[in-house]
Each structure stands twice: as structure tokens, then as C-alpha cells.
Amino acid sequence: MSSMAGKQVVLGVTGGIAAYKSAELLRLLVRDGAHVQVVLTRAAAQFVGPRTYQALSGRRVAMETDAVSVEPGGMDHIALAHWADVVLVAPATADFMARLAHGLAGDLLSSLCLALEKPLALAPAMNRAMWEHPATRANLALLRERGAAVFGPEDGAQACGDQGPGRMLEVAELRRCLESLFHTGVLRSVPVLVSAGPTREALDPVRYLGNYSSGRMGYAVAGAALEAGAQVTLISGPVSLETPAGARCVSVRSAAEMRDAVLAVAPVHRIFFSVAAVSDYRCDTPAPRKIRKEEHEVLQLRLIRNPDILAEVSGIPEAPFTVGFAAETEGLLEHARAKLLAKGLDLIVANPVGGAEYGFGRRHGDLTLLWEGGSLVLGRDRKELMARRLVREVARRYLERETADAAPAH
Ligand code: CTP
């Protein structure tokens, strides 16, 4: 899975000949699983028309000050700025950058950039003399100073026949640059272990006891840890999700298999996110053959307790920083705090489940962090965004603990 999967990207296109490459960039981002909303300026539509982008993105293209519906309720420049995880303007003309540098907001793309509180990236493309002009240099310096990421341009033959800097970066390179914006590096090289998904407990060779976990939250946590630069091992129950690119994935089925896989590697990891919905019980003696209904009018199963994987990990010598998840249908914070103490965890993530909107199988998460002596509401949002916030908080607490442990005792 690419780290762009699930990201909400506004792809702004302004009027330059390199616009033809932005259609290919769009195709790559969509293939990576990103949700891309294209916003065209009037000049851009003279180069490549909205139909091309619409066909490739599967969304109505936004132009000028038209509102467009990417969410129920419609989208204007403010709603688009809220929706986007990132805005990439490719190609960005000299004129567009000049307007942006001076805070002009006369069209949809520049007004949404002005309303944006997320990362903004520009892929300039223009004639080399325009690129080297002091006005362009000054505008660019201003935009960089305000936090815009500038990708390229590169040197080479130009559409006008000139040779020099001003060509838009190749699309594969732009895609790499865009991905790197999400790479915070706060957990660079830290080995992080994540368990995810449901477990299945066999009743007979063809049936099992399971639960509704989709694995989405665990995979989002693994993805966010990768973005933070961690070395990620993902131990996953059966899910239909792609492994995040760069993670080492071990597939398991039952709680017992998950326990063995987790305990085998836990001592060499520094943080453990136990996101898996581990079955608390397993069938005492699974039938060796398929259970036949003619043989049982009433079928009785005897279930026995599974070991608590998370509690075992927190009990090993020099245990990793342990993060548990408490998925609760009621008494959320009380149950979560009780689990934090009972399992000896560094932190627990309280997560309401069972409602129509949040929890198992849903795209949104609603998380509160609890630790000994404190708590923090992380809020509600898409699981990918919640996972990023969670990893940032855990990284901060983990690094604080490491620093405290390394400090000489007085
Ligand atoms: N967990 C685990 N091993 C188990 C059960 C749970 O490692 N056998 C972990 C989960 O991955 C999660 C945390 O413990 O991080 C809490 O899981 P949850 O199912 O909410 O709690 P339980 O301890 O199983 O308690 P209960 O089901 O009674 O609420």
C-alpha cells in the first residue's frame, strides 16, 4: 500500500503546457489509493479540459469559483481547504505564484490556498527567463518562507525551444516528493510493532468464531508509524487490506498464532501498538471434521480463555512502550482506565464501538488517550488522520521516557 492511500489531495492545475503531465500525475495518485479533487484555473482548461481529469479522478472537476460536491453539503473554497490533507499545484505558473505570494484570492484555486491550514506544495513550470526573473525569485522566497514546499523545477529542453531551468518535475518524482511531505521522521529507525485485525478461532475445519474488526485502524497506525520513519512490523489477522509499503507483515489467524508471532519479536521492538481485536475465547477442542447438523439438534460449544497478548508483552523485561486499545460499547473511559492499570500499559486508546458512525468497519475513529494521571481527547476524524495524531502523541511520550531513562540519576 502506498503511503498516499486514503489521503485527500487537491490537485490544482494552472495554465501551462506542463498541464498535460498533471493528468498522468492524477492517474498515479488515484492508483495509489488517494482521493484526488482537481481544481482548474480558467487558463489551465485551455490546455487540458476538465473531462480528462474527471474521467481519471472519478470526481467532478472544480473550476473558478464553482462549488463542487466532494462531501454532502457541497464544497466551496473553505470546505475544500478543510477537506484536503494537502494541496499540490502542478504546474504552478509564474503568474499563479505571484498571486499566491501577494495573497490575491480572485479564483477558486488561489482562494482555497489562502484558506489552507495544511501543507501546500508547488511544482513550478515556466520559461527559464521567467524562472530566473527577480520577481519570480522574490515571490518564491516569500512562499517558501511561509511554509510552501517547492518541488523542482528541473533543467532541460523547454517547450518554447529554450534550454535551462523551468521544466516541471517528472510525475514519478512529483509523487515521491508529495509522499515525503507526510514523512515526519519523529520515529526515525525506531522498531515499532503493530497488531491489527480480528482473530479467527476454529470450530471445525471450515468454521470459526470471529469479530467485525476490519483492520483499518491497525493498518492506519502502521502507515502513520512508517511516515514517522519507524521500522514497522505488522502482525495481522485476516483482513482484506493491502500491506503498507515498507512494513514487514506477518499474517496469522488465531489468537494463539498472534500471540506466538507477537511474543517472538516484541523484545526487539521499542513500541507496541496492540490494535488487534483479539478473541478472548477459543473453542476448547475444535472438531477434526466438519460438524454435521444431523448429529446435533442443540450444539454446545465449550470456550476457554485465550491468553492476553498485550498483558504478556507489557510484562516482559525491558518491555516496549505499550499502547492498548479499548473498544467499548459503554462505560468507555472507566473500562479503558481499568484496562490501562490491569494490563500495566503506558497508554490506552479509548475507542467507542457499536454505534452507527464509529468503530469496527467504519472509516472514522473517535479516540481518547489515557495514561496514568492524564488524558487527551484526540477527536473524531478519518482513521488515517486519527492514526497520525496518535502516532505523534505516542512518539512524544515514548521519546520523553527514553530521555528520562537515559538521564543520569542524581
Ligand atoms: N488484547 C490482547 N489479547 C487478548 C485480548 C485483548 O492483546 N486476548 C488487547 C487488544 O489488542 C487491545 C486491548 O487488549 O489492545 C484491549 O482489548 P479489549 O478486547 O477491549 O479488552 P479485553 O481485555 O479483551 O476485555 P473485554 O473484552 O472484557 O472488554
pLDDT of res. 70: 47
Report the Cα–Cα distance between both ends of the chain, in Å, rounded: 48
Rounded Cα gap, residues 237 and 252, in angstroms? 5
Reported confidence tier of residue 169, pLDDT bands at 50, 70, 90: very high
In angstroms, what is the span from residue 278 Cα to ligand 1's centroid? 6
Model confidence at 73: pLDDT above 70: no
Do residue 350 and residue 206 come from a single domain? yes
More confident residue, 247 or 63: 247
* Minimum CA distance residue for ligand 1 atom 28: 280
Q: How far is CA 400 from CA 44, 159, 349, 373, 406, in A?
A: 49, 53, 19, 16, 10
Q: Average of pLDDT values for 154-174?
A: 88
Please name the amino acid found at residue 14.
Answer: T
Catalytic residue numbers, as ranges:
160
What is the pLDDT at residue 15? 95
Average pLDDT over residues 7-27: 96
- What mean pLDDT is predicted for residues 85-113? 96
Final residue in a domain of this structure, among 180, 212, 230: 180
Q: Are residues 196 and 175 in the same domain?
A: no
Is residue 60 predicted with pLDDT exceeding 70?
A: yes
- The residues, ordered by sequence, that sit 6+ positions from 45 with a Cβ below 8 Å of its Cβ are 63
Distance 7 CA to ligand 1 centre (A): 29
Cβ atoms of 107 and 100 within 8 Å: the answer is no
Q: Based on the fold, state whether residues 353 and 210 are members of the same structural domain.
A: yes
The answer to whether residues 167 and 195 belong to one domain is: no
Q: Which residues contact 172 (CB under 8 A, 6 or more apart)?
A: 28
Whether residues 210 and 150 share a domain: the answer is no
> Of 2-16, 331-345, 355-369, which has the strongest mean pLDDT?
331-345
Name the closest-CA residue to atom 18, ligand 1: 326
What pLDDT does 195 receive? 98
Please tell me whether residues 171 and 201 are part of one structural domain.
no
pLDDT greater than 60 at residue 296:
yes
Per-residue confidence band for 159, with pLDDT thresholds at 50, 70 and 90: confident
Query: Hey, what's the cell of 300?
Result: 454446545
Is residue 2 domain-resident? no
pLDDT of 256 strictly over 80? yes
What are the CB-based long-range contacts (under 8 Å, 24+) for 324-329? 324/274, 324/348, 324/349, 325/217, 325/273, 325/274, 325/275, 325/349, 325/351, 326/350, 326/351, 327/277, 327/351, 327/352, 327/353, 327/359, 327/360, 328/352, 328/353, 329/353, 329/354
- What's the sign of the alpha-carbon dihedral 151, 156, 157, 162? positive
Which of 133, 156, 180 represents a domain boundary (last residue)? 180
323 lines ligand 1 (CB under 6 A): no
How many whole angstroms from 285 Cα to the centroid of ligand 1?
22
Asked whether residue 67 falls in the same domain as residue 176, the answer is yes
Pocket lining: 14 vs ligand 1, CB cutoff 6 Å: no
State if residue 308 touches ligand 1 by the CB under 6 angstroms criterion.
Answer: yes
| Residue 349 CA, closest ligand 1 atom number | 15
CATH number at residue 232: 3.40.50.10300
Same domain assignment for residues 250 and 124: no
CB of 310 shorter than 6 A to ligand 1? yes
Phi first, then psi: what are they for 241, rounded to 5°?
-125, 155
336 Cα: distance to centroid of ligand 1 (angstroms):
10
Is residue 208 in a domain? yes
277 and 325 belong to one structural domain: yes
Same domain, 195 and 51: no
Please give the pLDDT value at position 407.
76
Q: How many structural domains are present in the chain?
A: 2
Cα gap 122→18, rounded to integer Å: 13
312 domain residue, yes or no: yes
Domain boundary among 149, 180, 211: 180
Question: Looking at residues 2-10, what average pLDDT do you find?
Answer: 88
Average pLDDT over residues 151-171: 88
Euclidean distance between CA atoms 377 and 157, whole angstroms: 53
Q: Is the CB of 278 under 6 A from ligand 1?
A: yes
The reply to whether 24 and 130 lie within a common domain is yes
DSSP string for 23-40:
HHHHHHHHHTT-EEEEEE
Residue 361 has pLDDT above 70, yes or no: no
The reply to whether 1 falls in a domain is no
The angle subtended at Cα 192 by Cα 270 and Cα 196, nearest 5°, is: 130
266 CB near ligand 1 (under 6 Å): no
Other C-beta atoms within 10 Å of 310: how many?
A: 25
* Domain at 46, CATH number: 3.40.50.1950
| pLDDT band for position 383 (cuts 50, 70, 90) | confident
Q: Of 278, 282, 368, which is best to mutate to test ligand 1, by the most ligand atoms within 8 angstroms of its C-beta? A: 278
pLDDT digits (tens, 9 = 90+) for 257-291: 999 999 999 999 999 999 999 999 999 999 999 99
Domain range for 217 is 191-406
For residue 327 and ligand 1, the question of a CB distance below 6 A is answered with yes
pLDDT of 406 reads 80
Residues 310 and 218 in one domain: yes
Q: Which residues have a Cβ under 8 Å from the Cβ of 399 and sit 6 or more positions away?
A: 186
More confident residue, 69 or 285: 285
Q: Which of 127-136, 157-166, 335-344, 393-402 has the weakest average pLDDT?
A: 157-166
Q: How far is CA 251 from CA 5, 84, 248, in A?
A: 21, 33, 10
pLDDT for 355: 66
* Residues contacting residue 298 through CB under 8 Å, at least 6 positions apart: none
Q: Give which of 116, 29, 108 is closest to 76, Cα–Cα.
A: 108
The pLDDT, as a whole number, for residue 92 is 98
When pLDDT is cut at 50, 70 and 90, the band that residue 405 belongs to is: confident
What is the reported pLDDT for 71? 45
Domain presence at residue 186: no
pLDDT at 382: 84
